[in-house]
Structure 1
Amino acid sequence: MAETDHHATASTPVRPPADEHDEPAGPDGTAAAPAIELDGVVKEFHARGETVVAVRGLDLAIPQGEFFSLLGPSGCGKTTTMRMVAGFEEPTAGRVLLHGRDVTGVPPNRRDVNMVFQSYALFPHMNVFENVAFGLRRKRVPKDEIRSRVGAMLEIVDLAGRERRRPAELSGGQQQRVALARALVNRPRALLLDEPLGALDLKLRQAMQVELKRIQREVGVTFVYVTHDQGEALTMSDRIAVMNDGRIEQLGTPREIYEHPATRFVAGFIGTSNLLAGEVAEVSSGRAVIAHGPDDRVLVPLRPGLPVSAGDRLELTVRPEKIGIGRDRPAEALCGVRGTVSEVVYLGTSTNYNVITAAGSDMVVFTQNATSADDVAARGDTVWLSWDPRHSYAIAATSGAQGALT
């Protein structure tokens, strides 16, 4: 992870007094302007006579001090969105505002943000201290202040005592923290991070997720994090924008997005999700009864006002860890489908069951191995899958209407 050579920095401290960093409330006592705001942003690229729309009318507001993630597959527009915030790309239409100031057309070096990337790009001939101090020396900050600010930042990123080491003498995670310190020591009002953990192995990547969140909380700077890794986004973010085809499919907290996906895309992209389809047999008291198979009955809560009636076809999603599996259908189960186990995978802490329902749907069930190492069922067994209706979430298969838990 490395700071961009453009050195788009601010002149405000990392954790300053309120009157130096925080946007003042308006004269009527209203809240401060968002740290980052996108207003109807569109980005088009033109090549070989074709127009490719990378971002489609994006509206977004990110408050000061939030850890915000742009999550989505390759080509969804998330990196292009970040580059427009940084000033490396200009929107075809719409505005980019930083703390209420329109910076559309303003060059990167005049925006109060830094951007860091997956490659560290540390200077190999400089030690840790000099790498972190590089931007401050370019700005001719006094030596005493450089020493103080670099020392404080190395404490925050847990590198105190390693000031004289060269990058080649550091681990990948330590190099990443040097790059992060170099970006933060310039006191940006927002830090933009583009896939910064991709070069690390799994164990180090997981450790750095926790470290990044700790550092962000400690310095209080707005972080905007671009990733295609759902685990990273769920672990670190205060809020997540799930992007697809240049649009935001859903915006919410990690829990909201995981527990209550707003679209079929989000349900399939975030974690493992089971999708079932069936015809609505009846609608009563804000719930739909879906007939999935001959003996199956699934109860799904609906958002008030959702236009669903008997005869409509709905899809529902339910997470694998919410589902119980057994030889018999529990008498109290309000949601139950019958199926045949097609595969059993033992993973140590849990066992995963793949089940083909009587209606032909593939479902996955996760069970914790907390009380017994014995399998609940074996491949080829007929089983019942059951869950609480609160864990169902309905998505209209044709009209795009969406159900929600109340």
Structure 2
Amino acid sequence: MTITAHERADMSRSPIAGTDPTPAISLHGVSKVYRSGSETVTAVREVDLNIERGEFFSLLGPSGCGKTTTMRMIAGFDDPTDGEVRLTGNDVTGVPPNHRDVNMVFQSYALFPHMSVHDNVAFGLKRSGVAKREISGRVGEMLDLVELGDRAGHKPAQLSGGQQQRVALARALVNRPSALLLDEPLGALDLKLRQSMQSELKRIQREVGITFVYVTHDQGEALTMSDRIAVMNEGIVEQLGSPAEVYERPATRFVAGFIGTSNLLTGTAGEARDGGSDVRLADDHVVRAGTALLPGAAVDMTVRPEKIRITTHEPDAALSRVRGTVTDTVYLGSATHYTVRLADGTEIVVFCQNTSDALEVAEAGSAVWLSWQPQHSYVLPEAHASRPAPHTPADPSDEETHNHA
């Protein structure tokens, strides 16, 4: 079923994204500090965010990064220690959850086991005093939207995990919130069902046209569904951008390591020419970066595994190239993953599609060349002056912040 234009307008209670410059959700300098006796833990640090109307927006990061705490402050379950939360331009800091025009969907679904699917979805409408005839129509439309119209009389125990998740979505959407907050809602599902539900969530979001804010630690979910992603670490937003931006152009070492698999190479900038620069690595290999750099500067660059070609013969000198030894191969059907160790001990991961025209297959112990286009050497934009030596980079930190997120 396709929802009508009138119903979509009612559900969003606001103009469709792009016609009103006021964001659906704004955070201005929002921080959250938990105190227990003499101990102080900062869960969220001065976060500034604008989430647009009709946007599918994800808060992505590891456990303890502050993403759930941020969502709870949007929902009103937690108050910020500092800063301001605005919904469609209105300051709601301190306003209780039941007076905010948002609904939240949890990983646990929280369905009433003794009620039918219809009554679960209708529960909030009945409590709000909506007329019985209107309840029937709105519940029917929501169940059709989530493709459960034929399950209205079933109890939750008679449904699969994915179907229960869709009931929880219908129950949240039937109240026509201006934004829907989803806290790792697919975490309890198996892989195949989770992937199917990712497509369903995106379809439903497009149908209803309202803002979805999605919390997840799963980078694949965020990349698949989001219009934009805020990558969080230790209570701060390390990067905000589209899925392609955070994947192809990570802003920090943390983002480069957390989003997908990335090979981090450290060296010193040499000669700048033709719009790029030579970079001398720790093992004296010289590779090309597609960015002009200040000679002598310490450089951190990333190269994604799928950008690299592995061969036993020497590649073209115009490419970035290094030599190493294969230490591990993992066959995954459609692709093979190689781990190659350079002379200085640096390990590089390579993803190769197992196509019919694949030229070579390397085995563990083989001496190989790795090569890639200079533009695929992405130089991280962080300052490196604080590093003690360009050839001994610290490992990216992925420690959990001990907080309530």
Q: TM-score with structure 2 length normalisation?
A: 0.90
Counterpart in the other structure of 2:307: 322
Counterpart in the other structure of 2:398: none
Q: Deviations over 1:61-84 (max 9, x none)?
A: 000000000000111111111010
Structure 1 19/372 Cα, relative in aligned 2: closer, same or farther at 3 Å?
closer
SS of the residue corresponding to residue 399 of structure 1 reads coil
Counterpart in the other structure of 1:79: 68
The aligned runs of 1:1-400 (5 Å cut-off) are: 15-16=8-9, 20-22=13-15, 31-292=20-281, 296-302=285-291, 308-331=293-316, 333-371=318-356, 376-395=361-380, 398-399=384-385
AA of the residue aligned to 1:139: S
* Distance apart, 1:209 and its partner CA: 0.7
Conservation of the 8 A alpha-carbon contact between 1:297 and 1:334: no
Structure 1 72/334 Cα, relative in aligned 2: closer, same or farther at 3 Å?
same
Runs of 4+ in 1 over 3 A off after TM superposition: 17-20, 372-375
Stretch of structure 1 that moved more, 372-381 or 86-95? 372-381
Structure 1 373/325 Cα, relative in aligned 2: closer, same or farther at 3 Å?
closer
- Distance across 2 between alignment mates of 1:153 and 1:23: 20
Structure 1 214/24 Cα, relative in aligned 2: closer, same or farther at 3 Å?
closer
AA of the residue aligned to 1:280: A
SS of the residue corresponding to residue 290 of structure 1 reads strand
- Distance across 2 between alignment mates of 1:17 and 1:248: 33
Conservation of the 8 A alpha-carbon contact between 2:303 and 2:376: yes
- Distance across 1 between alignment mates of 2:112 and 2:133: 22
Same amino acid, percent of matched pairs: 63
Conservation of the 8 A alpha-carbon contact between 1:14 and 1:184: no
Can you give the 5+ residue segments of structure 2 that lack an aligned partner in the other structure?
Answer: 1-5, 388-405
Conservation of the 8 A alpha-carbon contact between 1:238 and 1:254: yes
- Distance across 2 between alignment mates of 1:162 and 1:203: 22
Over aligned residue pairs, what C-alpha RMSD do you find?
2.1
SS of the residue corresponding to residue 151 of structure 1 reads helix
User: What number of residue pairs does the alignment pair up?
Assistant: 381
Structure 1 18/330 Cα, relative in aligned 2: closer, same or farther at 3 Å?
same
AA of the residue aligned to 1:371: S
Structure 1 388/96 Cα, relative in aligned 2: closer, same or farther at 3 Å?
same
Q: TM-score with structure 1 length normalisation?
A: 0.89
Can you give the 5+ residue segments of structure 1 that lack an aligned partner in the other structure?
Answer: 1-12, 402-406
- Distance across 2 between alignment mates of 1:151 and 1:228: 33
SS of the residue corresponding to residue 182 of structure 1 reads helix
Q: Deviations over 1:144-164 (max 9, x none)?
A: 111110111011101111111
- Distance across 2 between alignment mates of 1:158 and 1:400: 55
Stretch of structure 1 that moved more, 326-335 or 82-91? 326-335
SS of the residue corresponding to residue 9 of structure 2 reads coil
- Distance across 2 between alignment mates of 1:259 and 1:219: 30
AA of the residue aligned to 2:9: P
SS of the residue corresponding to residue 175 of structure 1 reads helix
- Distance across 2 between alignment mates of 1:313 and 1:275: 13
Structure 1 132/19 Cα, relative in aligned 2: closer, same or farther at 3 Å?
closer
* Distance apart, 1:285 and its partner CA: 4.5
